[in-house]
Amino acid sequence: MKKEYITLTALFIGQGLTGSIISLLTLTSTLAGNMLTPVSYFATLPVTTTVLGSALMVYYASHLMKKYGRRTAFIIGSVIGLLGSISAAIAIYYHLFSLFVFSTFILGGATVFNQYYRFAAAEVFPTENQKKISTSLIIGGGILGGILGPFLAIQGAYYFTQYIFLGTFFISGFVFIITLFTQCFIDISDAESAITNPSDSCDSKLHNYHAIYTSNDFIVGTLSCTLAFALMTLLMNSAPLAMYHAHFDLEESAVVLQWHFFAMYAPALVLPFIVKKVSNTNIILFGAFCFFVGSVAIFLVDALLAYMFSLAAVGIGWSFMFSGGTFLINKISLPAVKHKIQGLNSAITYLFNLLASLSVGVFMINEKGWFIVNMVSVLLIVIFIVYMSRNKFKI
């Protein structure tokens, strides 16, 4: 097998396994926090510190990749994740809420490396179309994590009957060990990182950072990735609490999240077949429309089906907006600037992701919190659609 396909396979597995940790934490962090915290208001603190850890690590992770290469940086991320998992297991065993919060902070720093598989995928093959296909496939690898994460969380949750979720974080540590091993097969050289035809990316001012930061590719790409991630985080992290207050059990919440994560990543497996025919603008706008449908649908359908349909639509919306935004950022791919641009894109995405995560506790303490977060989503998506339509970006 050619090294390009071995590398692509390793990236696919890495995306899926690190994604499984993200979905595992989404399902368990708030519930474990609710179990450990002395004050119910702090139940969402662990999931918030996960995002905080990601936000603080996201730009440094890009620096590690520039300095040591993709493979070494991904291995470092796996080691960080293993340490965070061990720490979380100790926190649950000794019922230490503060240590658990610190552990999720460490795990957040580890899971942020998941953001860079989409960029690494664009370096495996030289042509623009191959880059888009590779990027879509790697983002689609998250489907493995979306299904596997909640399943592993449930399998480990009650393994030790006296210590709920202890087994979950033992499994998390094992997943990071497997991830570390698979990342050893990544082989991306500096030569492969360079775009062969600069005119396919930006204009002759590519080295001028001001020109890049004010370009349509960067503005729309970053705005699309940021809004998609922030709204997805707000709705996804609110859903388990909303379902808990509505008296759904853990297994039902897991099923809803599994469908949500499936919907997040499955469309990326279809995108390789349509990237030649559909513009980036239309890909992003379709995703925004799905967000709108998901946020409105929660009020039109009853009970469990409402959560399932709503979170699935939100997942599809995230997939198209995030993929479309990533395609635009990947067009800026000369070695001299790409790591800074990718790092800035990810940093902005995670800063607003952090804000969305912090907002969950504020919104969901209100009895109408689930209604409020969906209305916020509708408002922001409508503004974004109007913005895109009025400017008519040719991207």
**CB-CB contact of 150 with 254 (8 Å):** yes
Which tens digit of pLDDT belongs to each residue from 273-307?
Answer: 787 788 888 899 999 999 999 988 877 766 778 88
At 201, the pLDDT band (50, 70, 90 cuts) reads very low
Contact predicate 280/324, CB 8 Å = yes
Say whether pLDDT at 339 is over 90: no
Global confidence as pTM: 0.73
Q: What is the CATH number of the domain that holds 55?
A: 1.20.1250.20
List the domain range (segments joined by +) for residue 173.
Answer: 3-391
> What is the mean predicted confidence (pLDDT) over 221-242?
89
Gyration radius from the chain CA atoms: 20
Task: State the pLDDT confidence band at 95, using cuts at 50, 70 and 90.
Answer: very high
- Please report which helix (H) or strand (E) contains residue 212, including its range: helix 209-213
Average of pLDDT values for 13-17?
93
| Rounded Cα–Cα distance for residues 106 and 85 (Å) | 9
Q: Tell me the per-residue pLDDT of 186-196, one tens digit each, with 9 for 90 and over.
A: 998 753 443 34
Cα torsion angle, 318, 319, 324, 328, sign: positive
| Alpha-carbon span 88 to 70, nearest angstrom | 27
- What digits encode the pLDDT tens for the residues 135-176? 888 888 878 887 888 889 888 988 888 898 999 999 999 999
Number of domains in the chain: 1
pLDDT on residue 204: 47
